[in-house]
A = this chain, B = another copy of it.
Amino acid sequence: MAEAIWSVGKVAKRCGIKVSTLHFYEQQGLIHSWRNAGNQRRYKPEVLRRISVIKAAQKVGVSLEEIKRAFESLPNNRTPTVEDWQQLSKNWQQILDGRIAYLQKLRNNLAGCIGCGCLSMTSCPLYNPNDQLAEIGSGPVLLDQAEQQAGVER
């Protein structure tokens, strides 16, 4: 201990990622390092925290670009404090809450939509783009009223 400076290999091993990924993240501006006399990367322990946040965010489907923007709220002139991370954490929880609510809605509608017998898209919240269900990742989901015109099929 007292050894608060990390090499790229150590960080990679500790985080379960590849050295090349650290290079990549640095290139993308997600993490920072300085160089020693022999041009090798050196990291503050803070980087471990950043990487774990990146990993957690990715599991929730957040892009590196968005993570980068979130990190921009952290100070770059000094090591982030507990308060800095807490603020970031608070923002994250909001995202997570939304995400959870979305999934729950999707889950509860699933039996009634995908597996339903109505074969209609008119009122289905899964198919209906006006439903807030669709308001997470992308644009329009699917338009309404359709499959009941079926039955004839081929």
Contact residues of A with B, CB < 8 Å?
Answer: 1-5, 13-16, 34, 44-46, 48-49, 51-53, 55-56, 58-61, 79, 82, 85-90, 92-93, 96-97, 99-100, 102-104, 106-107, 110-111, 113-117, 119, 121, 126-127, 129, 136-143, 146-147, 149-154
CB pair A44–B154 under 8 Å, yes or no, is yes
Contact of A153 among B15, B44, B107 (CB under 8 A): B44
Known: A49-B147, A116-B82, A126-B52. Contact between A154 and B59, CB under 8 A? no
Copies in the complex: 2
Q: Top 3 nearest A-B pairs by Cβ distance?
A: A16-B140, A89-B115, A86-B115
Q: Are B103 and A48 in contact (CB under 8 A)?
A: no
- Are the CB atoms of A59 and B137 closer together than 8 Å? yes
CA distance A3 to B154 in the complex (A): 9
Once the chains are docked, how many angstroms separate the CA of A119 from the CA of B53? 13
Whether A115 contacts B88 by the Cβ 8 Å rule is yes
Whether B106 lies near A48 (C-beta < 8 A) is no
CB distance B114 to A53 under 8 Å?
yes
Task: Please pick, from B52, B99, B104, B139, the residue contacting A127 in the complex, using a CB distance under 8 A.
Answer: B52
